[in-house]
Structure 1
């Protein structure tokens, strides 16, 4: 894994066209449900959430191509 394979939730949301809140909820879990990302795919560093490209692709598929 390289540094290019790790991004902030905001970057991931922009690249995949998903709301930031949706991705953050998938990292944290919500309403009694466990997180959808595995521990090695998403974590919080201070106030910033980091996520791997592999985790995004596992849950949301390949990154959509820019139009």
Structure 2
């Protein structure tokens, strides 16, 4: 398995899990459920999140 398959952009996560990008961005910014540097990371203007973190917080897609 390719490790990049385990990382989603905020747009991909939004589509896969049926959450608005603004909701995800707010949750990522707050860092309460998503740990920066572990679950999420901002690369330039793009948020990246692991599939494992999304599944943990929102269940399987």
Q: Shorter-chain TM-score: what band? A: 0.7 to 0.9
Q: Which has the higher contact order (CA 8 A, sep 6+)?
A: 2
| TM value normalised by structure 1 | 0.80
Higher helix proportion: 2
The worse-fitting range, judged by mean Cα deviation, of 54-63 and 1-10 is 1-10
Provide the aligned length of Structure 1 versus Structure 2.
59
Give the gaps of 5 or more residues in structure 1.
Answer: none
Root-mean-square deviation over aligned CA pairs: 1.3
- For the pair 1:8 / 2:9, whether they are aligned, the reply is yes
* Structure 1 runs (4+) greater than 2 angstroms displaced: none
